């Protein structure tokens, strides 16, 4: 009888990170479709 | 296409690019704000925002007056009394068609002007084909492309990409695929960001800016 063990390792460098880094910026007009953010 | 801040943001971005002295290549990508809007929505933006979004009419009127004033400050003469609220999926498809034919920037400007300034309809294929012909595209081939949904998958792909980026509103500017600027920022903000990004690159390489819009 054999037993198979699956081990999952986590690579810290592969941790989720934002795809887009927001540059420093003030609030500005935009649309989100909900109406509440200025249309 | 129907977000008033996108046209204002476009003007401010263009001013920022000019002020920065950075060589920039621009691509437009699609973002859907209200995909459930019928092409022949029988009403104005005031009706749409009050009836569909539940915003009280006085508040809608105040919002439109404010944004019209800001548009005026960047040289855009919005005419909300003549605007045709519609579904813009075909207009987004047309922008992808125009991109494939090297005329995306011209098409984008034409669509925005038609919608906000000239009272044009940017939801119906025949109207879109007329605008396309105006920037030098083949009218009959545009009708064919839009009828066949040739670029619908490309629009949906953009929408999925925006979600992956975490974009929740427009305009949204992605610089070199890694930096984001949200909203219709002032030209100085765009110019500063472009200089910062170029400073991180060797020499005077072109900075690629992708503008996500609705």
Q: What is the pLDDT of residues B194-203, one digit of tens each?
A: 999 988 886 6
What is the 3-state secondary structure of chain B?
CCCHHHHHHHHHHHHHHHHHCCCEEEEEEECCCCCCCCCCCCCCHHHHHHHHCCCCHHHHHHHHHHHHHHHHHCCCCCCHHHCCCCCCHHHHHHHHHHHHCCCHHHHHHHHHHHHHCCCCCCCCHHHHHHHHHHCCCCHHHHHHHHHCCCCHHHHHHHHHHHHHHCCCCECEEEECCCEEEECCCCHHHHHHHHHHHHHHCCCCCCEEEEEEEC
- If one compares B147 and B178, the residue with the highest pLDDT of the two is B147
Is B5 close to A38, i.e. CB distance below 8 A?
A: yes
CB B193 within 8 A of CB B181: yes
Helix, strand or coil, per DSSP, at residue A13: helix
Does the CB of A12 have a partner CB in chain B at under 8 Å?
no
Does the CB of A16 have a partner CB in chain B at under 8 Å?
no
ipTM: 0.83
Q: pTM score, two decimals?
A: 0.89
Is A35 close to B5, i.e. CB distance below 8 A?
A: no
Is A29 close to B184, i.e. CB distance below 8 A?
A: yes
Select from A23, A36, A38 the Cβ nearest to the Cβ of B179: A23
Nearest-CA distance B183 → chain A (Å): 5
CA B44, CA B156: separation in Å to the nearest integer? 26
In this model, does residue A23 exceed pLDDT 90?
no
CB atoms within 10 A of CB B130: 15
Nearest-CA distance B44 → chain A (Å): 14
What's the rounded mean pLDDT across residues B113-136? 98
In this model, does residue A8 exceed pLDDT 50?
no
pLDDT at B79: 96
Nearest to B64 by CA among B45, B42, B88: B45
Is A27 close to B183, i.e. CB distance below 8 A?
A: yes
Domains, chain B, ordered by start: 4-213 (3.40.30.10)
> Quick one: closest CA in B to A21, which residue?
B179
Select from A20, A26, A30 the Cβ nearest to the Cβ of B169: A30
Nearest to B187 by CA among B13, B8, B7: B13
Does the CB of A6 have a partner CB in chain B at under 8 Å?
no
Contacts of A23 in chain B (CB under 8 A): 175, 179-181, 193, 196
Q: What is the pLDDT of residues B29-80, one digit of tens each?
A: 999 998 889 999 988 889 988 988 889 999 999 999 999 999 999 999 999 9
Is B3 close to A30, i.e. CB distance below 8 A?
A: yes
Beta bridge partners of B213: B30
pLDDT at A4: 43
Q: Which two tokens stand for residue A1?
A: 């009888």
Q: How confident is the model at residue B165 (pLDDT cuts 50, 70, 90)?
A: confident
């Amino acid at each position: 009888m054999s037993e198979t063990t699956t081990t999952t390792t986590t690579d810290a460098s592969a941790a989720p990170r934002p795809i887009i880094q927001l540059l420093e910026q003030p609030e500005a007009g935009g649309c989100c479709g909900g109406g509440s953010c200025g249309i | 296409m129907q977000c008033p801040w996108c046209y204002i943001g476009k003007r401010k971005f263009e001013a920022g690019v000019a002020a920065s002295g950075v060589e920039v290549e621009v691509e437009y990508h699609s973002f859907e704000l209200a995909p459930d809007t019928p092409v022949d929505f029988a009403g104005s933006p005031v009706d749409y925002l009050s009836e569909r979004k539940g915003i009280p009419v006085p508040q809608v009127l105040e919002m439109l007056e404010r944004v019209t004033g800001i548009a005026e400050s960047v040289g855009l003469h919005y005419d909300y009394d003549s605007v045709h609220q519609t579904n813009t999926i075909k207009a987004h498809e047309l922008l992808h068609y125009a991109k494939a034919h090297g005329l995306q920037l011209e098409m984008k400007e034409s669509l925005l002007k038609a919608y906000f300034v000239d009272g044009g309809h940017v939801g119906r294929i025949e109207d879109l084909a007329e605008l396309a012909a105006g920037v030098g595209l083949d009218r009959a081939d545009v009708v064919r492309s839009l009828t066949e949904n040739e670029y619908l998958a490309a629009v949906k792909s953009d929408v999925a990409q925006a979600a992956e980026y975490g974009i929740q509103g427009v305009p949204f500017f992605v610089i070199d695929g890694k930096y984001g600027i949200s909203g219709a920022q002032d030209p100085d903000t765009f110019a500063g960001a472009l200089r910062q990004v170029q400073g991180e690159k060797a020499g005077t390489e072109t900075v690629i800016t992708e503008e996500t819009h609705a």
